[in-house]
Amino acid sequence: MRIIHFADLHLGVENYGKTDPATGLSSRMGDFLKSLDELADYALESRVDLVIFCGDAYKTREPTQTQQREFARRINRIASNNIPVFLLVGNHDLPNAIGRATATEIFDTLAVKNVYVASKPDIFKIPTASGAIQIAAIPWLRRSALLSREDTKNLNLEEINRKMQEALTQVIADKAAGLDPALPAILAAHVPISDARVGRGSERYMAIGHEPAVLLSNIANPAYDYVALGHIHKHQVLSEKPPVVYSGSLERVDFGEENDEKGFYVVEIVQGEGGKREVSYQFHPVSARRFLTIEIKLEPEEDNPTAAVLAAINSQRENIRDAIVRVNISLPAALDGQVRYGEIHEALKEAHNAAVNRDITRETRARLGSRTSENITPLEALNAWLETQKVDQERRKILLEYGQKLMDSY
């Protein structure tokens, strides 16, 4: 049995994009859909048995009609070719109020063939071309789904999170107890695991509300052949027996994910000797939009700062083409006026999106001991400055005389 595991599409992230003249849509939306198309192509060409999506189809809880249409087109393309698709609800898929529909509930409402939606903890038995498989679903759960008002009465936030962690752990254990050991089983969960490595970018603040993390030991249950996770954007394997795996996001969101490879996992479950199932998995990268940072530090003695910046850019010419690029220039204030920024932007024209950021360092003013501007005269300040510049006594006397004449004339 061959299964695709992916998560965290976040369709609707449009930062660093531009309008596509052919469609009128953000070019970044095209990036995310292109990655999803690569996954769909692989699913159809390899004739996988099942596709599991572990939550967060969209950036926001209320996606646009266009975003929903484009996501549905790709899911329907897979499902209509007799490949079941399992959709788990993530925190970004939940509506703002209880009682409203989730962003992926439309598939259930229309009873789309071969599409299964999990908006609450449950066990799904899904027929595939290679036999039946069980999926224990743990979608993102609100506090109200885990705890009653009485449970949280008079508790502080830390105590509430601890109770939520305990309740979520119990839900996971209950689903494991309800599995049929004769069938392959996967746990699909949209949860944060305490041992997971979180990216450095917007993922840290894209979370909605506080997140009680689950202990790895409580989710790596041997009742499961594979644990498919969503919510963390960095793909990673947290455990081998059973494999506990975050597939990561399918496309880069920002520069915090610049060096992260993006893609999906292909999981194989085979019947081994003595009826024991054996599991293997492999990460398949997609051609996600490249992010590139170019760091440049200009020294005060640089005689041609523009040429120095252009040389650094030209050394990355192949990587710049079609990438989202930022050039960070650190330079002294005296050089800033000498940099021809128009030429720098022209050198970045092959980038999909480019920004030039300046970090200007200014000389620290000479200290005047314990004296301040309120208790020192302009002439005394001039004399103190001339001393710091090591101007000789005779010349300092002449400059002070001229300074006095200037002040007397006003």
CA 175 vs. chain centroid, Å, equals: 30
Q: Which domain holds residue 188?
A: 2-285
Q: Are residues 387 and 340 in the same domain?
A: no
What's this model's pTM, rounded to 2 decimal places? 0.81
Per the domain annotation, does 348 fall within a domain? Answer: yes
* Nearest alpha-carbon partner for 196 in 141, 269, 264, 245: 245
Axis crossing angle, helix 65-79 with helix 27-46, rounded to the nearest 10: 10
Q: 10 Å Cβ neighbour count for 69?
A: 10
Measured N-to-C along each axis, helices 378-388 and 393-408 cross at an angle, to the nearest 10 degrees, of 150
Residue 90 has pLDDT above 50, yes or no: yes
pLDDT category of residue 178 using cuts at 50, 70 and 90: very high
> Hey, which bits of 340-389 come out as E strands?
353-361
131: domain CATH number is 3.60.21.10
End-to-end CA distance of the chain: 91
In a domain, 278, yes or no: yes
Mean pLDDT for 312-333 is 96
**Band (396; pLDDT cuts 50, 70, 90):** confident
For residue 235, give the amino acid letter.
Answer: H
Same domain, 114 and 216: yes
Q: Is residue 304 part of a domain?
A: yes
366 is a domain residue: no
Does residue 237 sit in the same domain as residue 340? no
Residue 284 has a pLDDT of 98
> In this structure, are 93 and 127 located in the same domain?
yes
Model confidence at 205, in pLDDT bands (50, 70, 90)? very low
Q: Which residues contact 264 (CB under 8 A, 6 or more apart)?
A: 4, 5, 6, 39, 42, 247, 250, 283, 284, 286
Alpha-carbon Rg for the chain, nearest whole angstrom, is: 30
Cis peptide before 242 (omega within 30 of 0): yes
Number of domains comprising the chain: 3
Q: Is residue 324 part of a domain?
A: yes
Least confident range of 60-64, 104-108, 372-376: 372-376
Last residue in a domain, options 285, 309, 341:
285
Q: Is the pLDDT of residue 206 over 60?
A: no
Average pLDDT, the chain: 88
Residue 163 and residue 258 share a domain = yes
Q: Residue 234 domain-assigned? A: yes
Residue position matching structure tokens 């005269």: 377
Residue 206 shares a structural domain with residue 331: no
177 within some domain: yes
User: Which one has a higher pLDDT value, 388 or 259?
Assistant: 259
